[in-house]
Structure 1
Amino acid sequence: GDMDFKVAGTEKGITALQMDMKITGLPVSVISDAIKKARPARLHILEKMQEAIDKPQESLSPHAPRLLSFRIDPELIGTVIGPGGRTIKGITERTNTKIDIEDGGIVTIASHDGAAAEEAQKIIEGLTRKVHEGEIFSGVVTRIIPIGAFVEILPGKEGMVHISQLSEARVERVEDVVRQGDEVTVRVREIDSRGRINLTLRGVGQNNGGMSYPEPTPTPVAPLN
């Protein structure tokens, strides 16, 4: 044909027109007639759509494909990528998503699983969220070492509780107070010059994920003569 004419709209009226022509022009009467004929066809299609679904879904299915886009501080792009790309590779493997980061800090996450895309976003937001001294977090103990415990306070962001900060009393073994997998409440005690987060359990109420550990007995110290 000489033209391709599309009309879109609602019951109340036309919202968009699109036309491709192979000729130099059309009389106004042809356009007017096409618009009039399009109305009953549009209303018929809307009626069938209404029969299939009477209102939009309030939210997408968790398994519906997602394309999420958000901005991070461009100075923190390296934090998300990590040395040799290890951090971002770990996120994509953990969540089975595809992640692209532009120089301006725009992060785009693509996934066939909505929940996985949201998990990847939370991890990146956790990595790039600035932590301040004095803030209190509920976290999970991820690792135990002889001198303390590492606690994940945000997705992908850990801090360390030195053994001296596990209790007001003297602690002989880290495992006497916390164990891997415990949920603990910690306060950010210090952020050192290298950006490492030092945490404390002292002066913060604890439930240790529902497990109760007794306070270690202080080691007696002989009086000085």
Structure 2
Amino acid sequence: MVHLDVRAQGATYFISPPITSSHEVSSNLFNPQWLEAQGLIEGTAQGRAAAWFIRLKDEQLVLRHYRRGGLPARFSNDRFLWIGLRRSRPWRELSVLSRLHALGLPVPVPIAGRVQKKTVSYTADIITRRIPGARSLADFMLASYFGDTHDQNARDEVWRETGRVIRAFHAIGAHHADLNVRNILVDEQRKVWLIDWDRGRLNADAAIQNRSMARLRRSLSREAELETMARQGWPLLMSAYSRGP
């Protein structure tokens, strides 16, 4: 079990893994308006979870606000039922990330989380270290499709490396709850990373992992250009996945 440090300020809880508990975690780090006023925000990303890219001294961080998806989002887009701090989204994600990082797997370094309890519900945020120079697998492949400098050998190797990396996670029972082409990053050395471990878990069985692979394949089929590239790339990914890391 991973130990997490907790500091409470009234109904607000700040959570830090021991590997990063030396960071000065204040409420300001979770406040996009304050960060922007200080000139610390370098960019943003929108998805189911809003994200802000932060430069803090010499360190690049990502602040992500937890949002709900699907039908529950119609009732509240960022409030979750309070069933205890250890069952909160940041606590679970920081726990999983800490364990995966300790095993040497390519995930963002977990920095801190914040939970703001509001009677029977809570809102939450998480901060992780940003992976410098990385872009999503989708963006990497689309850049190639639209004439970027990546040659065929480079694209093929990224497909294979993606398969090897996913297999390394699955070999220790890790399950990514939303494995798709936007949550797989490729850095400047073409190293592959898996990000956004919200609702991720360990000790998943083969059936759950197979469904995760099917989810990834569906995400490729949603964009015509990616589907065209996947017809050649997916067999390479699966071949490497089958052989293992």
TM-score using structure 2 length: 0.24
Structure (1 or 2) with the greater helix fraction: 2
